[in-house]
Amino acid sequence: MTSDPILAALLEKFSAADCCWFASTRPDGRAHLAPIWHVWYEGAAYVVTKEGAVRAQNIRRNPAVSLSLPDPLNVFVIEGTARFAPEMEDALAPLFQAKYDWNIRTDPGYDTIIAVDPMKALAWGSHGEGRWRFDG
């Protein structure tokens, strides 16, 4: 984890948040932004989506993504690199079950696990301010 107490507190807020905004880029350069449920596990954010979802198609071409908390006054943004992570299902299933009462193993169609490895974080507002880089 991080030794910076502000970043550690922000990551706890991110982990506990009901959802995050997930931004990716379409092949023609247009942005795609949509809320999604997420968990934070061992230094990365994880989402589960449909294989044909816009975000899944976008990261096949461009893995650069941004995630943010849905609070416009107390901003926390994570910039990172997305990757498909089907091997994480066993570790993540209990986390999604506990947080959302959602069984990712049995929900038809939601078959694609995406990990976002953070590269940079930015924050401003009442819960902390700063810019951080993550060691990769």
Question: In whole angstroms, what is the distance from residue 113 CA to residue 106 CA?
Answer: 13
Q: In angstroms, how far is CA 130 from the centroid of its own chain?
A: 19
Buried b (16+ CB within 10 A) or exposed e, 22-42: bbbbeeeeeeeeeebbbbbee
Q: What percent of the chain is predicted at pLDDT more than 70?
A: 99
pLDDT, one tens digit per residue, over 68-103 is 999 999 999 999 999 999 999 999 999 999 999 999
Q: pTM of the entire structure?
A: 0.95
Q: Burial of 53 by CB count in 10 Å (0-12 exposed, 13-18 middle, 19+ buried)?
A: buried
CATH superfamily to which 5-133 belongs: Electron Transport, Fmn-binding Protein; Chain A (2.30.110.10)
